[in-house]
Structure 1
Amino acid sequence: MTQTLTARLRPALSLEGALRSGAALVVIYAGLLVAFTIASPVFLTGDNLLNITASVATLGIVAAVQTAVIISGGFDLSVGSTAAFTSVVVAELLSAGAGAPLAIAGALVVGAVVGLGNALVITKLNVNPLIATLGMMSIVRGAGLVWTDALTVVYPADQLAYLGRARIGGVQVSIVFMLLAFVAVWAVLRYTVFGRFVFAVGGNPKAAFLAGVRVDRVRSIVYVASGLAAGLAGLVIASQLIAGSPQAAQGLELSAVTAAVLGGASLSGGQGRVWMTLVGALIMGTLTNGLVLMDISSFWQMAVLGVVLILAVALDQLRTRARH
């Protein structure tokens, strides 16, 4: 019986099993927590943990949908620029007295339009998703800088406080939005026909097309959803800053991709686990916070995050080899 139990546990305890189950990622995160707790006496305090969750909220909202984009075989590198631009839209509308409902609607519409633009360029012009969204990233970021002359737009502080600064039972509302985003993406991918289509399109688009799946429609919906997520992230950013900044969310797109790939989303498409992306986002947020507490230069922080991105891609390659 002992031998039988050992035989059953061996795959889970192997490198292959750890990579597939996500156990390796959880161990890495636990090690990160221990390391920063030892390095900084204020790391494991209540206030700092709230700071980490607040910073992870924006990343998590975007990374949840980015996971679906990567599963479908694509990328969306425009999310950071879109979030910054929508924060400016929100601030401009609130400054003009438009009111919170119109500002929220405006941000979501702008995000959806950017996502639709990405979808049309990718599906109708057959432009590679990496190039298409990279171009959109520059377009949207540039538009925000031109509109504001690269200045921050401040709005009345009593507006939109509930989105990024309010708390429910001690939990920030932005965290609730993030968790809802993960639940929504997880439910769609796991329990709906559309979710199965997303995996099919990412795994083998030609086979999916021959099976009757409308590949372009699936991809378009995923990119519009990514734009909406970026719009929601922009709302949260505007609420946290009490302003809109065209230079906000720098590097958000790469952090979202890194979180998704760390969580198991395959760069070749067709593979991914939404909840492990949340662990990936927590790793990114915790790493940034810990480096700040250790007084590490922001330049070195950029280098470290770049190393993490490379390691995430290497981890994806290890998982691919393990599957084969």
Structure 2
Amino acid sequence: MPENVQATSAVPATTIRARMKAPEWGALLIFLLAEIVFFTINSPYFLSWPNIVNIITALSITGILAAGGTILLIAGQFDLSVGSGTAFVALMFAIAAQSLGIMPAVGVAVLVGVGIGMLNGFLVTVVGVNALITTLGTLAIFRGLTLSIGGASSVRITGFDWAIARPFLDIPLSAVLFLVIAVGIAVLLSRTVFGRTIYAIGANENAARLVGIRTKKTLFLGFVISGVCMAITGLVSASQLGSTSGTTGTGLELAVVTAIILGGTSLKGGTGSMFGTVLGLLIVGVLNNGMTLMNINSTWQQVAAGTLLILAVSFDQIRQRFIRA
């Protein structure tokens, strides 16, 4: 049976559309609008174009990683290694750039990112290790390698500032790249056979396997895509900062998971969309930016992000019980 027929058999197209729209986008939009109104009242600068650009730019690194993470979470998988993977990619790029030059170093960064994704995918799909345990392990491995190889000091990167260029409406290329990737992932999930198989696996992996979908191959590819996103994010980070260190990307995994779940992607898989993830990113980004403009300590921003994550997971659990009932 052809794979497109298999995917459609496991989860019909109408069901996939319903699963993509299942998150309450209306509620998310209302919450986002409430944030915007509140921070506009408290800071006249909030709705200025430079600040809007700042919000989008700040989202670019988390957003690119969240694009790959959305695919995996819809499929019922996790990748918590994204922060340390990004740091390791950036370090390998910086070291390679010093000895090989910029363009060969870009190739090294891509290979490293893909390699991390392949390692995670192999351990999950071939060895059979749980994705949460696998990526917690690789999180520790690549953070340790980054600190061991790079040391405590920053590694400088020169001649690689493309991400901060602003060729159009004062928007940095890093933000443009994020928007392009977000649209690409949205199309991949909603308009392709691969996207249908991802939803089918997340909805019921055993049923998907029984109708002939090659679930391991699809999940492996999902982890590779996450690795590619790490490579791109590592390059963007290196370009934006002009350096990298052992602490690069610390806490990114929490920010990524928060945005994805807040956007309506279920922890159980089978439900979610890139559009929802973008809404989740905007809610978190607007909250952080608004709190900064109000001179609220960054530690309280962490409290707010953690609270949002707990609320999002709680809402998902309640919604799952309602669906089962």
Deviations 1:99-150 (A, max 9, x none): 3322222211111111111111111222111111111111111111111112
- After TM superposition, list the pairs within 5 Å mapping 1:49-128 onto structure 2: 49-96=52-99, 98-128=100-130
Q: Does 1:293 align with 2:293?
A: yes
Kindly report the root-mean-square deviation, in angstroms, between the aligned alpha carbons of the 2 structures: 1.7
For the Cα contact (< 8 Å) 2:91–2:244, is it kept in 1? yes
State how far apart, in whole Å, the 2-side matches of 1:164 and 1:103 are.
19
State how far apart, in whole Å, the 1-side matches of 2:201 and 2:186 are.
17
SS in 2 for 1:167: coil
2:9 aligned residue: none
Deviations 1:54-81 (A, max 9, x none): 1101111111121110011101101111
Deviations 1:210-237 (A, max 9, x none): 1111111111100010011011011111
SS in 2 for 1:270: coil
2:188 aligned residue: 188
The one-letter code matched in structure 2 to 1:45 is S
Distance 1:90 1:165, change over 3 A: farther
Which segments of 5 or more consecutive residues in structure 2 lack a partner in the other structure?
1-20
2:314 aligned residue: 314
Identity percentage of aligned residues: 39
State how far apart, in whole Å, the 1-side matches of 2:263 and 2:239 are.
28
For the Cα contact (< 8 Å) 1:144–1:150, is it kept in 2? no
The runs of 4+ residues in structure 1 deviating greater than 4 Å are none
2:161 aligned residue: 161
SS in 1 for 2:134: helix
TM-score, normalised via structure 1 length: 0.89
TM-score, normalised via structure 2 length: 0.89
SS in 2 for 1:213: coil
Deviations 1:16-44 (A, max 9, x none): xx974410001111111111222223322
Which segments of 5 or more consecutive residues in structure 1 lack a partner in the other structure?
1-17
State how far apart, in whole Å, the 2-side matches of 1:50 and 1:180 are.
16
Q: How many residues align?
A: 304
For the Cα contact (< 8 Å) 1:165–1:239, is it kept in 2? no
2:49 aligned residue: 46
The one-letter code matched in structure 2 to 1:315 is F
For the Cα contact (< 8 Å) 1:62–1:229, is it kept in 2? yes
The one-letter code matched in structure 1 to 2:85 is T
For the Cα contact (< 8 Å) 2:23–2:272, is it kept in 1? no
Q: Does 1:273 align with 2:276?
A: no
Q: Does 1:222 align with 2:222?
A: yes
For the Cα contact (< 8 Å) 1:122–1:128, is it kept in 2? yes
State how far apart, in whole Å, the 2-side matches of 1:61 and 1:116 are.
18
State how far apart, in whole Å, the 1-side matches of 2:166 and 2:139 are.
30
State how far apart, in whole Å, the 1-side matches of 2:101 and 2:243 are.
14
